[in-house]
Chain A
Amino acid sequence: DQQVKQNSPSLSVQEGRISILNCDYTNSMFDYFLWYKKYPAEGPTFLISISSIKDKNEDGRFTVFLNKSAKHLSLHIVPSQPGDSAVYFCAAIVNRDDKIIFGKGTRLHILP
């Protein structure tokens, strides 16, 4: 049973526009959610996290929104830049388990 789902395998966005990456989850016990970015042939890089007690966290061009009632979170990148082209993984943690569960990733293409 997939607890963290990224239903869009890929997304193409024009440079300068907003990129919105979505993630759904099924486990209401998740304490934290994280987003990672991965370039080919490199390990994932931590981007931004959000606690389950918050509904928004912002860091520069990256903002994560959490809708607990809908069990949905999204990552907004504004404005999108060519270097943002990568695979983005959504991940979730139940703190007492200290186990990170990842979604399958969404490949973001930033178009010139």
Chain B
Amino acid sequence: KAGVTQTPRYLIKTRGQQVTLSCSPISGHRSVSWYQQTPGQGLQFLFEYFSETQRNKGNFPGRFSGRQFSNSRSEMNVSTLELGDSALYLCASSLNVAGGQETQYFGPGTRLLVL
């Protein structure tokens, strides 16, 4: 079974631009979660989508948004990029809503560099 895929793998943008990242979950998985990883903050939860609905949202500004399509593929958008948005953005999928008994499978991530 193919794993979680994320595109693009690497991205360079400049301040003020916007970016869209894509995530394709494992076939049959309906939950997609997004995380930001930075050296200073570690892994931080951005939001989770389940059946095209945002289930939960972390403590990030409104510049960070996402959506999920009917095929469970998800996109994350960051508008008006700031230098501090440079990070590894990870997507994870699970069969059902992420919880303690639900295993999440992570993609390889998209490394975003904002100049």
Contacts and interface: CB of A to CB of B under 8 A. Distances in A.
A48 B55 CA distance: 24
A42 interface: yes
Contact of B41 (A42, A46, A51, A104): A104
Contact of B44 (A41, A51, A95, A102): A102
Given A99-B45, A100-B45, A46 B105 contact: yes
A97 interface: yes
Contacts of A98: 48, 55-56, 97-99
B81 interface: no
Interface string A94-109: 0101111111110000
Interface residues of A, number: 26
B66 interface: no
Interface string B76-104: 00000000000000111000011111011
A75 interface: no
B25 to A, nearest CB: 12
B44 A49 contact: no
B28 interface: no
B42 interface: yes
A55 interface: no
Contacts of A91: 43
A41 B100 contact: no
Contacts of B101: 32, 49
Contacts of A58: none
A66 interface: no
A44 to B, nearest CB: 5
12 contacts: A31-B100, A46-B105, A49-B101, A89-B43, A91-B43, A93-B99, A93-B100, A95-B100, A98-B97, A99-B45, A102-B45, A104-B42
